[in-house]
Amino acid sequence: MKKPAAATALLAGAGLANATLNCSTEAFQKIIPANASVVLAKRVAENGTFTPPAADTGFPDPAYQLPALCAVQIEMPTDADTTSNFGLFLPDTWKGRMVVSGNSAFSGVNYAEMGAGVTYGAVAMSTDTGHDSAFDNSWAKNPESIVDWGWRAMHLSIVEAKKVIAAYYGKPLDYSYYNGCSTGGRQGLKKIEAFPDDFDGAVVGAPAWWTTHLQLFNIYAAEYHLPENSTHHISSDLFELIANETLKQCDPQDGVKDNIISDPRRCNLNLETMLCPANTTTSDSNTCLTDAQLDTLYHYYNDWTVRRHGPRQRHSRQLRPLTLLQPRLKTHPLPGLADPSIPTGGSVYFYKQIQRTLRSKGIDLDDFYKFYLIPEMEHCGSTPSNMEAPWYIGGSSQASTIGSDGSGNHLHERKGFNDGKHDALLAMIGWVENGTDDLDYVVKQRPICPWPKQAMYIGNGSFWEADTWECEGLY
């Protein structure tokens, strides 16, 4: 995994500032397969902006404050008579790495996220997974297009991108990394299982991998809650009551009241405290829950179960151990504990299945697989408004979500964030290349701990300082 120290030092010193090919359609057309085509090739000046082609409806947002680079988009055919596109940002000053950004929803070339990836001195890459759409899934009528979305377009794009990089810079890349969340998290898990040689390390956030369960639960969740005129319907006003009561009961369990629930699984939440007193009518529903509404809430707080031609079975037990992950590839899964879209339990279950599979073969997960749960982080970023927990870790989509500070500085470039203790991708780079594993603008900090450990407050100082907490094994 670790390259020789001399080679690494030479690469860092040289910077490879001069590309061997010019940034033109003609130049790239000569190095890609004859049946592929260059959609665009254009220079972007230092601190410039790249606006995606108008056809990119999946990710139409521009990439801002870029280093000087060459932007390329290439269309590739597959042997299944389909096509896919991938984009590359090839920086003038290159550190020998490639960072592949995942997608969300139903894809498009993610140029905005590539804009964050290229600031690490790496070539940034993203694929449209074979089609261009945000939430329109009409493309899925073709079974081969589903295969493209599932894995094929990403793998073929990475293979070809590595060839383009080698030709453009006159040398092959040294390290390849993946960074994705949500659908991008699912892409990452699929890639590291099926094609472990594509990457040296992967940062996987909130993976939407258990799709048969995720989509069905969305349907069941609506059925539990509707229709709106039913006695079991919970109004939006009531959810604020539920959130505040949950915070009241569960916040202190980590040793400090700070409006953050460190681990909701350790909280024995008593929902009955919200039950309305006798003779309360539904008109009082903004202050308490009726018995019917409490039943609805139990559907959300308890395991989802269904009957399958016999005894009731828990869905968390229906998947068998998965394909063996390759120990040579280092992986950081990072789900959020307040994610309303992708249940955290799916990531916990995935980790446990990998653990069961590898332990029986005498393989230690800690050598290549670290699993972190982010307290109060919602889907890939942000935090509930009544909690405002620290959540920025330089993860996929986070830089583009926050944007800049108004003066053109991206958040992950600020002093205090540009190291492996504050940036998940830099932590991965340090782990792969140097064997380290660390994970003035900072306002609030909380350590995140490798599962199953949890951060516990141990000091008398500010609970927004990371050194007043320790990771303790509680399970």
Question: How many degrees, rounded to 5, is the angle at CA 300 between CA 295 and CA 305?
Answer: 90
Q: What is the C-alpha to C-alpha distance for residues 291 and 242, in angstroms, rounded to an integer? A: 14
**Token pair 């972190």: residue:** 372
The count of residues in the chain is: 475
User: In which band, very low, low, confident or very high, does the pLDDT at 417 lie, cut at 50, 70 and 90?
Assistant: low
Q: What is the pLDDT of residues 150-192, one digit of tens each?
A: 999 999 999 999 999 999 999 999 999 999 999 999 999 999 9
User: In which band, very low, low, confident or very high, does the pLDDT at 194 lie, cut at 50, 70 and 90?
Assistant: very high
Following DSSP, what letter does each residue of 97-158 receive, concatenated?
EEEEE---TT----HHHHHHHGGGTSEEEEE-TTS--SS--GGGGSHHHHHIIIIIHHHHHH
Q: What's the pTM value of the predicted model, to 2 decimals?
A: 0.83
User: In which band, very low, low, confident or very high, does the pLDDT at 4 lie, cut at 50, 70 and 90?
Assistant: very low
Mean pLDDT (the chain, rounded): 82
pLDDT score at 400: 64
Between 372 and 310, the more confident residue is 372
Are 303 and 315 spatial neighbours (Cβ–Cβ below 8 Å)? yes
Identify which of 56-70, 159-173, 408-422 has the greatest average pLDDT. Answer: 159-173
Which residue, 342, 431, 333, is CA-closest to 378? 342
Mean pLDDT across 245-262: 89
- For the chain, domain boundaries: 25-208, 214-301
pLDDT cut 90: percent of the chain above it: 41
pLDDT score at 1: 40
Has residue 414 got a pLDDT over 60? no
pLDDT score at 281: 64
Q: What is the C-alpha to C-alpha distance for residues 65 and 398, in angstroms, rounded to an integer? A: 16
Mean pLDDT across 290-316: 70
Q: What is the pLDDT of residues 342-374, one digit of tens each?
A: 888 889 999 999 999 988 899 988 888 989 999
Mean pLDDT across 204-214: 89
Has residue 416 got a pLDDT over 60? no
Q: What is the pLDDT of residues 265-290, one digit of tens each?
A: 888 899 999 999 887 765 555 789 98
Mean pLDDT across 66-93: 96
pLDDT score at 403: 60
